Amino acid sequence: MRRFGHLSKRLLQQSERIQTTCCCSASSMPPCDFKPEPYTGMSYEEATKVRKENLTPALLTYYRKPLMIHQGHMQWLYDHENRRYLDLFGGIVTVSVGHCHPKVNAAAEKQMKKLWHTTNIYMHPTIHEYGQKLAAKMPGNLKVIYFTNSGSEANDLALLMARMHTGVYEAVSLRNAYHGASPYLMGLTAINTWRFNVPSGFGIHQTINPDVFRGPWGGKHCRDSPSQTLRSCDCKEGECKAGDMYYDQLEDVLRFSMPKGRIGAFFAESIQGVGGTVQFPKNYLKRAFEKVKSLGGVCISDEVQTGFARTGTHYWGFQGHDAEPDIVVMAKGIGNGYPLAAVITTPEIAASMSVGKALHFNTFGGNPVASAIGSAVLDVIEEEKIQENAHVVGTYFIEELAKLRDQYEVIGDVRGKGLMIGVELVTDKASCDPLSAEKIGDIWEDMKDNGVLVGKGGLYGNVLRIKPPMCITKEDVDFAVSVFKDAVAKYSL
């Protein structure tokens, strides 16, 4: 049975619907004809023991009683007891077109039967076919691709590439940004929960985060989003005083902290992900890129979470800002859950990393199976109108959540674009103080118990992160909003 997520299609209805166990009432959860396989693996208790004794103690586990997920289908996940959940976090913004999408699965299986792996010291067709297809999705002169395995690895390479090209070591990122947690990137990442007390980040500086909800400046017309902040604003049409203030702070960092007015690299997410779906004032990113380029610097757009049509109106998040990066980093949704990432840049910058200057090599980057999967993901996004679905369903989702914000004091802000959504929980709208972890946990757990999985983020962990597989439907949104409303209502009693 084919199951496609674009707007014009719905789940095919079989004459005898297969019901799976759900922790919420069967009438409230949208139906699904998929039948998961019975779970036959190790017991929950044994898995818990192994996790405690044999896996890294730094491994974060969601929920007071962690879920053990054993199968996925499109926007649905199934635990070891056959309970079904609506996945609104997509494997941390990674499952782009749906869990175990049939076309992606078929591409992987077909390639595995021919060639699992050979490094790029040899030529193999899949990396060239995929590279050509991916490059065609990029604007301007962004045409040269370096394949890697993860977003952290790709950002690491992008920083090295910028320093090699400009000859300037100093770089700038935004406070509240997350670009990876490797020792090399820990300085780019500016969220204290992701920074160990070790020497890192030499030559990296942070400028103020242009957060129009929690920052010092912001108004009710700043964001490119269906939902704005509740802050007052006296800006005239086409102007943004908050954006001007944040841009002035960037100029100040460039003026005082860079070597003789030069800069090697400026990093930015088009919408901050781990930081809590933070959106910048309109035109901020465009002006920032233009300023950095005027100083000879390289502008790097981290599209690890916002790329591949997730913001709806554009294929890449930076396009929504009318900004022109020199390097684009992508991962997560690029492989729909398979380890794959890429750095794309111009031929001029790529020449700084060419043979003769130093060798750069990645054993698994552009692996045949990874390339086949990445190519299939591009096809699905196009064929199933995933971008249109992200725009239409995402806008509807944000607007419905905004209605709840207006109803409940605990919901301080709803923001985002397409299916990149954040809901910030506060003690009250007047103070905007973050809701405590324990109280957020009550809401979070209640949503899980009723069949909806969401993530958490932000400096205080008080932002619900909603970044689902982009095949979800309006029926799924209605169900999710209903579950969230019930959880918030219980808290508000």
Tell me: do 69 and 127 sit in the same domain: no
- Domain boundary pick from 383, 400, 424: 383
Tell me: do 335 and 426 sit in the same domain: no
For residue 453, the model assigns a pLDDT of: 98
Say how many C-beta atoms besides its own lie within 10 A of residue 44's C-beta. Answer: 16
Tell me: do 166 and 307 sit in the same domain: yes
Q: Taking a C-beta distance cutoff of 8 angstroms, is the pair 456, 465 a contact? A: yes
Tell me: do 141 and 75 sit in the same domain: no
Which of 401, 319, 335, 382 has its CA nearest to residue 90?
A: 335
Q: Residue 425's beta-bridge partner residues? A: 411
This prediction has a pTM of 0.93
- Provide CB contacts within 8 A for 244, sequence distance 6+: none
For residue 493, the model assigns a pLDDT of: 67
Residue 25 lies in a domain: no
Tell me: do 201 and 233 sit in the same domain: yes
Residue 477 lies in a domain: yes
Residue 216 lies in a domain: yes
Residue 401 lies in a domain: no
CA angle 393, 395, 396 (to 5 degrees): 65
Say how many C-beta atoms besides its own lie within 10 A of residue 140's C-beta. Answer: 9
Environment class of 198 (CB within 10 Å of its CB; exposed 0-12, middle 13-18, buried 19+): exposed
Tell me: do 69 and 110 sit in the same domain: no
Residue 426 lies in a domain: yes
Tell me: do 348 and 221 sit in the same domain: yes
Return the H-helix or E-strand segment holding 78.
strand 76-79
- Domain boundary pick from 365, 383, 401: 383
Find where tokens 């970044």 sit.
Answer: 467
The structural domain count of the chain equals 2
In angstroms, the CA 471 to CA 489 distance is: 28
Token representation of residue 200: 């890192």
In angstroms, the CA 1 to CA 431 distance is: 51
- What CATH number does the domain containing 176 carry? 3.40.640.10
Tell me: do 115 and 92 sit in the same domain: no
Tell me: do 302 and 423 sit in the same domain: no
Which of 66, 96, 95 has its CA nearest to residue 444?
A: 66
For residue 361, the model assigns a pLDDT of: 85
For residue 20, the model assigns a pLDDT of: 43
Tell me: do 87 and 234 sit in the same domain: no
Residue 298 lies in a domain: yes
- Provide CB contacts within 8 A for 107, sequence distance 6+: 372, 373, 375, 376
Tell me: do 77 and 167 sit in the same domain: no
Q: What is the pLDDT along the chain (493 residues), one digit of tens a residue?
A: 333 333 333 333 332 233 344 455 434 899 999 999 999 999 999 999 999 999 999 888 999 999 999 999 999 999 999 999 999 999 999 999 999 999 999 999 999 999 999 988 899 999 999 999 999 999 999 999 999 999 999 999 999 999 999 999 999 999 999 999 888 899 999 999 998 888 888 999 999 999 999 999 999 999 999 999 999 999 988 889 999 999 999 999 999 999 988 999 999 999 999 999 999 999 999 999 999 999 999 999 999 999 999 999 999 999 999 999 999 999 999 999 999 999 999 999 999 988 777 788 889 999 999 999 999 999 999 999 999 999 999 999 999 999 999 999 999 999 999 999 999 999 999 999 999 999 999 999 999 999 999 999 999 999 999 999 999 999 999 999 999 999 999 988 6
Instruction: Enumerate the H helices of 363-434 as residue ranges.
Output: 368-383, 386-407
Find where tokens 């899980």 sit.
Answer: 448
- What CATH number does the domain containing 427 carry? 3.90.1150.10
Say how many C-beta atoms besides its own lie within 10 A of residue 324's C-beta. Answer: 17
Residue 135 lies in a domain: yes
Residue 16 lies in a domain: no
Phi, psi (deg, nearest 5) at residue 430: -70, -45
In angstroms, the CA 356 to CA 269 distance is: 32
Domain holding 112, by residue range, is: 106-383
Tell me: do 139 and 69 sit in the same domain: no
For residue 325, the model assigns a pLDDT of: 98
